[in-house]
Amino acid sequence: MEWAMSLLLNHPEVLNKARDEIEQNVGCHRLLDESDLVKLPYLHCIISETLRVCPVGAFLPPHESSEDCTIGGYNVPKGTMLLVNQQALYKDPKVWAEPTMFKPERFEKSTGENDGTKWIGFGQGRRGCPGEVLAYRMLGLTLGLLIQCFDWERVGGEMVDMTTGDRRLMTKAKPLEAMYRPRKVLLNVFCSFVVQ
Ligand code: HEM
């Protein structure tokens, strides 16, 4: 969440696009809920792109080969510990165009560059993350509500510092500080409670 919020503060054009999507599909007279998330594909793209630019860990958890195999031309004997460096994959310009840029559009289904093989934020296959759907829901709901209900501003107008603190867990070196001003939708929702 902290990385997503930081990236959005540094890219107001992405934040505005996400807000437009919410306003068109949810409006400003009620709060968005879980059932709205299917109508918010751009918000979904923002989460994927955040996990590409700032993955929760540089490496996926280790796996062990259950039989002799060949990977990328290397012979891998049974019982070898295998580590996937997802961060290296996401920073490779041969794999992603302009890899350091934050561009959620990469994940758009029709035009995006993600072909389903080069983004592994939740792992893949039988040992892939079983919490993926829940994670997208919780992040989508929380981020979506913050976008819908508040105007966001950087403190002092300076760019948010994106330096990584702990390089294994990919925490932020400097915790995020930002300003959030309630939007009209919150007033509309509170008024509807009073009227009821
Ligand atoms: C943004 C949130 C999350 C991310 C980025 C994430 C990422 C991952 C990754 C990369 C793996 C390893 C996959 C592999 O070894 O190939 C994993 C495994 C796992 N995750 Fe998540 N995860 C997230 C949220 C969750 C949630 C919400 C739950 C449960 C409610 C969960 C439960 C698990 C479990 C149980 C495994 C082990 C699966 C196995 O070894 O078979 N994760 N996750």
Span 45-96, pLDDT tens digits: 999 999 999 998 889 999 999 999 998 899 999 999 999 999 999 999 999 9
- Domain residue spans in the chain? 2-57+86-195
Question: Which atom of ligand 1 sits closest to the CA of residue 61?
Answer: 15
Instruction: Give the pLDDT band (50/70/90) at residue 170.
Output: confident
pLDDT value for 116: 80
| Among protein residues, the one whose CA lies closest to atom 30 of ligand 1 | 131
pLDDT at residue 66 in the model: 94
| Orientation of helix 12-25 relative to helix 41-53, angle to 10° | 150
Q: How many CA atoms lie within 13 A of 57 on its CB side?
A: 11
Residue at 153: amino acid letter: E
Higher pLDDT residue, 52 or 116?
52
- Enter the ipTM: 0.98
Average pLDDT on 97-117 reads: 90
**Count of other CB atoms within 10 angstroms of residue 127:** 10
Q: Which residue has the higher pLDDT, 187 or 111?
A: 187
Q: Copy the structure tokens of residue 17.
A: 């696009």
Tell which CATH classification among 1.20.1050.140, 3.50.30.50, 1.10.630.10, 1.10.579.10 matches the domain 2-57+86-195.
1.10.630.10
At residue 195, does pLDDT exceed 70? no
Give CA–CA dist 179/176, Å, rounded: 10
Binding site, annotated residues: 129
* CA-to-CA dists, residue 42 to 54, 68, 69, 96, 170, angstroms: 18, 42, 39, 19, 24
Alpha-carbon distance of 99 to 102, in angstroms, equals 8
How far apart are the CA of 127 and the centre of ligand 1, in A? 9
